[in-house]
Amino acid sequence: MNQDSKRGLTLIAPPLAYALALLAGPMLAIVLFSFWTQDYLTINRTLSLKNYAEALSDPFYRAIMGRSLVVSGSVTVITVLLAFPVAYYVSFRVRPDRKSLWLFLITIPFWTSYLLRIFLWKVMLGYNGVVNSALTGLGLRDEPLTWLLYNANSVVLTLSHAFAPFAILPIFVALEKIDRSLLEASRDLGENAFTTFFRVTLPLAAPGVVAALLIVFIPTVGDYVTPAQVGGPNGMMIANVIQAQFRDLNNAPLGAALSVVAMLIVTVIALGTVWLARRLSRGT
């Protein structure tokens, strides 16, 4: 082994050991734990598929898992669609020396208290909230709207808001990498602005769009705070159920099995998205 490799390995050893001990180890532990069963107050350590049978067959868990995926999927699509024009504007229209200021403006809301931001959406959408006060104040409605808050839609709206910067940044990075002379070439060869966008810009920005899709989808599936705050009983998601199993219902192994199932589903969807994106980009 040459000296370079040795030095590299010595340096990477501490962070790698840390990730193995606190990430890989606990992940294996939770998988093992999910095969144990809760026996009233004690844990039965014989391996069993009972938790998985319950997690996969109980209509309640199936409905919650399905809703988590639908909500996250909608959040992902909406967030990326809303984010793309913003990333495009910053990359193509803003003066180069102003770009980091714009990115700074976009990321600031993301760094302010997550809990309070979610809570403030309750203030926005609530019965006496901003939206209803505006509607009744302007005389557009006599009665405040009650369907704004405590359902899956309010979860989608709130999460789309919370994850907007996550979607803008990777798309912006991909757009920045596009060689501007390719766009000129396309125009010189007779394409108009519209076709240039769809045949040159968009395919070249695809890696950023895929990254944005994943970076929004994966954490939102497991979000706890937003469904708990603005979801109401019909907006509950998988993380709320997992948390309830660990804390109030005292069936931690079932909670672990639900975590593992959620993780597997998310991994399969993520890999599927990457595979599909690769196939599509090869096709064009």
Partner 1 sequence: MLRTYVIAFLIFLYAPIALLPIFAFNSGSVIAFPLDGFTTDWFAQLGQQTELHAALLNSLFVGVLASILSVLLGLAAARANVRYRFPGKTAAMGLIMVPLVLPEIIVATSLLVVIVRFFDWPLSLWSLIAAHVLICTPFAIAILNASFQALDPALEEASIDLGETRLSTFRLVTLPLVMPGIVAALLISFTISLDEFIIAFFLTGSDVTLPVYIWSTLRFPKLLPVIMALGTIMVVISILILTLAEWNRRRGLRRVGAKDTGGFL
- Using CB under 8 A as the binding rule, the residues of this chain from 9 to 68 that contact partner 1 are 9, 11-16, 18-20, 22-27, 29-30, 33, 43
Region of residue 150 (phi > 0: left; psi between -120 and 50: alpha; otherwise: beta): left
Max CA distance (Å), the chain? 78
What's 143's DSSP letter? S
Distances (CA, A) of 151 to 71, 205, 228, 244, 276: 11, 34, 11, 19, 32
- The interface with partner 1 within residues 197-216 (CB under 8 A) comprises 214-215
Q: Which of residues 72-111 bind partner 1 (CB under 8 A)?
A: 82, 85-86, 88-90, 93, 97, 99-100, 103-109, 111
H helices of the chain, where?
Answer: 3-19, 25-34, 50-57, 59-92, 99-107, 114-125, 130-137, 152-162, 164-176, 180-188, 193-196, 202-221, 225-226, 238-246, 252-283
Smallest distance from the beta carbon of 6 to partner 1, in angstroms? 8
Question: Measured from the CB atom, is 101 or 182 closer to partner 1?
Answer: 101
Which residue, 10 or 284, is less far from partner 1 as judged by CB? 10
Of the pair 42, 284, the CB lying nearest partner 1 is at: 42
Binding mask 231-250 for partner 1 (x = CB under 8 A): --------x--xx--x----
Region 151-170 residues binding partner 1, contact defined as CB under 8 A: 161, 164, 169
Which residues lie below 8 Å from residue 18, measured CB to CB, with a gap of 6+? none
Q: Is 43 left (phi over 0), alpha (psi -120 to 50) or beta?
A: beta
Contact with partner 1 (CB under 8 A) among 222, 244, 251, 265:
222
* Binding positions for partner 1, 124-143, rule CB under 8 A: 124, 126-130, 133
Q: Count the site residues for partner 1 by CB under 8 A.
A: 87
Q: How far is the CB of 105 from partner 1 (least distance, A)?
A: 7
